[in-house]
Amino acid sequence: MFTPLRHAAGAAAALVMALGLGMSASAQEADLGPITLYNGQHKDATIALIEAFTAATGVEVIERDGASPELAHQIVEEGARSPADLIYTEDASPLYMLAGAGLLAPIDPDAIAAIPAEYRDAGGLWTGVLARSRVVVYNPGLIAESDLPASIHDLVSPEWQDRFAFVPTSGAFQAQLSAMIKIDGRDAALAWLRGITETGTVYGKNSLALDAVERGEIPFALINNYYWDGMVRERGIENVASRLHFFGTHDLGEMLSVAGMGILASSTHQEAANAFIAFATGVEGQTILADMSNQYPLNPEVATPPTLKPFSELTPPSGTLDLGEFSDGAAAVELLEEAGLL
């Protein structure tokens, strides 16, 4: 159990009181940081979380942005000299890599007790914070939901020629491809990728693919749920032409990605880092993150944002949270290059 942070003169109340972890007073001076967070998640939501945490605890958080894989590889290069105390990634793959390299410290069990065990590392080296689902966004004016493909594997068929969009540069698409390599094998994944290169239309961003479906330029697209949910929240469902489709069959098209956090083993602010994770996985932190990013909170005490399909109704494929040797995404990038998509 990590020791609480004592109220220092002129500082905010002790972290233990602010976070409600119920620990006794520490005999040592408060660990008031500052702590440095390498952030690969949504910047606005993360900044809101940081501001709330600092207001509650008095601990300053220095945020550095970047793509999750790049930040993870940067930590590997920096080793024990890394200025980071924490890393917050878009999906769990970089955390698996860092844990395997021995670069993450065990998180205090009390700090992550609110998160179900299936969404955190068995050894406590990282924890899930939020989840998002891969989905199909479609325009009912161009295609009925009942006429959509039964699986993303079907998209190689000539039937879907020029009828759907995908975003090969998207980290979530690449994670989906990594999962396909793991489950179906490299050759099958490459054949699928080459197939959709012929039948599908490439877009540079998920938001652009969504806009194309919304405007009726293309019947459907493969995206993450939060792009559409955010649009609905902003405009109102009555002002949105498109709709979401979930396969409902544990298909790879409904793959779940988990955004997570880990503490660096080299961090000299373990107490403050643990407190930050406790705040992020607690009710206040989860509410801030879910509401601002339109993703699913993993703390079951926090309600799913009303625009999202209930988390309990999702049917993601099994065996795709831990991508094992494909966690770093290198195999997926290699296939994308081989298919001429990167």
The residue that leads in pLDDT, 307 or 11, is: 307
Do the domain assignments include residue 1?
Answer: no
- Residues 274 and 289 placed together within one structural domain of the fold: yes
Closest by Cα among 78, 93, 75 to 172: 93
Q: What pLDDT, on the 0 to 100 scale, is given for residue 30?
A: 63
- Residues 103 and 82 placed together within one structural domain of the fold: yes
Closest by Cα among 188, 190, 206, 186 to 134: 206
- Residues 121 and 262 placed together within one structural domain of the fold: yes
84: Cβ–Cβ under 8 A, 6 or more apart, which residues? 36, 37, 38, 64, 75, 78, 264, 267
Mean pLDDT of all residues in 119-123: 94
Mean pLDDT of all residues in 310-336: 90
- Residues 268 and 228 placed together within one structural domain of the fold: no
23: pLDDT strictly greater than 50: no
- Residues 165 and 63 placed together within one structural domain of the fold: no
Domains of the chain: total: 2
pLDDT cut 90: percent of the chain above it: 81
Range of the domain at 267: 15-130+257-309
- Residues 181 and 212 placed together within one structural domain of the fold: yes
Joined tokens for residue 226: 């939060």
21: pLDDT strictly greater than 60: no
Straight-line distance from the first to the last Cα atom of the chain, in angstroms, rounded to the nearest whole number? 46
- Residues 82 and 168 placed together within one structural domain of the fold: no
Do the domain assignments include residue 10?
Answer: no
Query: Which CATH number fits the domain that encloses residue 160?
Result: 3.40.190.10
Band of the pLDDT at 327, cuts 50, 70, 90?
confident
- Residues 122 and 58 placed together within one structural domain of the fold: yes
141: Cβ–Cβ under 8 A, 6 or more apart, which residues? 216, 241
111: Cβ–Cβ under 8 A, 6 or more apart, which residues? 2, 21, 127, 274, 275, 277, 278, 281
- Residues 218 and 302 placed together within one structural domain of the fold: no
5: pLDDT strictly greater than 80: no
User: What does the pLDDT look like over 144-183, one tens digit per residue?
Assistant: 999 999 999 999 999 999 999 999 999 889 999 999 999 9
Do the domain assignments include residue 148?
Answer: yes
pLDDT, the chain, mean: 90
Mean pLDDT of all residues in 197-220: 97
Band of the pLDDT at 29, cuts 50, 70, 90?
low
Do the domain assignments include residue 99?
Answer: yes
Q: Are 116 and 66 in contact (CB under 8 A)?
A: no
Q: What pLDDT, on the 0 to 100 scale, is given for residue 289?
A: 97
User: What does the pLDDT look like over 260-310, one tens digit per residue?
Assistant: 999 999 999 999 999 999 999 999 999 999 999 999 999 999 999 888 999
18: pLDDT strictly greater than 80: no
Closest by Cα among 20, 340, 39 to 196: 340
- Residues 65 and 171 placed together within one structural domain of the fold: no
205: pLDDT strictly greater than 60: yes
